[in-house]
């Protein structure tokens, strides 16, 4: 499991620092640049109506990969970020593009796969070994391939496994260029393994015979879940 820290600012900060109370009084909306994983999890559907009822401020969500979300915000097309790539977040604030960064919730990544498990990785807690097995078996693997935080984390893990999946692009390794939900749909449709955040997987409605295959690697600090609360 990969622990993920998401970037956000409190509602009071939104109203007083980012764009100012006068702007809210005039426009009554803010733009949130978010990862697709956060949107796919259903979290916004739960939180935003309560936020709007309490503040009278409409929230317009733009759901893209982390890299694109940060680019959009850097171009002035966003008031708040919900992303998960800490080095990029720290740089965003250090460059004066954001006023603050805070961890507000945790999620974790898992690898899901079909019941027939062509690479024989089901039940594994060794992610590097699992990726090596997938590559050796040339078993289909669907990647977001969209410069998102999920994609960045996946690429780091392939590197640890000593594998360049780009060499197998359009063979057993498929890059969808899409968000998490769309990539899961593609992956389940083609019988491919997929690395996904658990919250999106829980809310994903097209699981078929897919199950979580790999989770909880005790030797990978970024895969170890140290007990913080997870997204539902």
Residues 121 and 98 in one domain: no
Residues 68 and 25 in one domain: yes
What is the pTM assigned to this prediction? Answer: 0.68
Residues 95 and 118 in one domain: no
Residue 228, domain member (yes or no): no
Inform me whether the pLDDT recorded for 231 exceeds 70.
no
Residues 93 and 127 in one domain: no
Report, as an integer, the average pLDDT of 183-197.
96
Of 78, 105, 132, which closes a domain? 105
Inform me whether the pLDDT recorded for 14 exceeds 90.
no
Of 105, 132, 147, which closes a domain? 105
CATH of the domain at 35: 3.40.190.10
How many structural domains does the chain have?
2
Residues 54 and 100 in one domain: yes
Of 85, 105, 125, which closes a domain? 105
Confidence class for position 148, pLDDT limits 50, 70, 90: confident
Residue 231, domain member (yes or no): no
User: What pLDDT shows up at residue 3?
Assistant: 34
What DSSP string describes the chain? ---EEEE---HHHIIIIIS-HHHHHHH-EEEEEEEHHHHHTTHHHHHHHHHHHHH--EEEEEEE-HHHHHHHHHTT--SEEE---HHHHHHHHHTTS-S---EEEEE-EEEEE-TT-TT--TTB--HHHHHHHHHHHT--EEE--SS-HHHHHHHHHHHHTT--GGGGBTTTEEE--S-HHHHHHHHHHHT-EEEEEHHHHHH-S--TT-EEEE---TT-GGG---SPPBP-
Residues 153 and 86 in one domain: no
Segment 70-105, tens digit of pLDDT: 999 999 999 999 887 778 888 989 999 888 888 877
């Amino acid at each position: 499991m990969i622990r993920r820290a998401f970037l956000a600012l409190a509602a009071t900060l939104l109203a007083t620092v980012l764009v100012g109370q006068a702007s809210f009084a005039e426009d009554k909306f803010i733009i949130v640049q978010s990862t697709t994983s956060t949107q796919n999890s259903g979290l916004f559907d739960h939180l935003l109506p309560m936020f709007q009822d309490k503040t009278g401020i409409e929230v317009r969500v733009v759901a893209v990969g982390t890299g694109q979300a940060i680019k959009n915000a850097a171009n002035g097309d966003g008031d708040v970020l919900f992303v998960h790539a800490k080095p990029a977040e720290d740089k965003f604030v250090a460059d004066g593009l954001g006023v603050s960064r805070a961890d507000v919730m945790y999620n974790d990544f898992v690898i899901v796969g079909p019941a027939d498990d062509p690479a024989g990785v089901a039940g594994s807690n060794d992610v590097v070994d699992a990726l090596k097995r997938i590559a050796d078996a040339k078993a289909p693997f669907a990647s977001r391939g969209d410069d998102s935080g999920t994609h960045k984390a996946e690429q780091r893990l392939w590197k640890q496994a000593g594998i360049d999946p780009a060499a197998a692009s359009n063979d057993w390794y498929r890059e969808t260029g899409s968000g998490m939900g769309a990539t899961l749909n593609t992956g389940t449709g083609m019988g491919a393994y997929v690395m996904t955040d658990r919250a999106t997987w829980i809310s994903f409605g097209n699981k078929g015979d897919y199950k979580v295959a790999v989770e909880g690697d005790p030797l990978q600090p970024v895969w170890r879940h140290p007990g913080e609360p997870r997204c539902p």
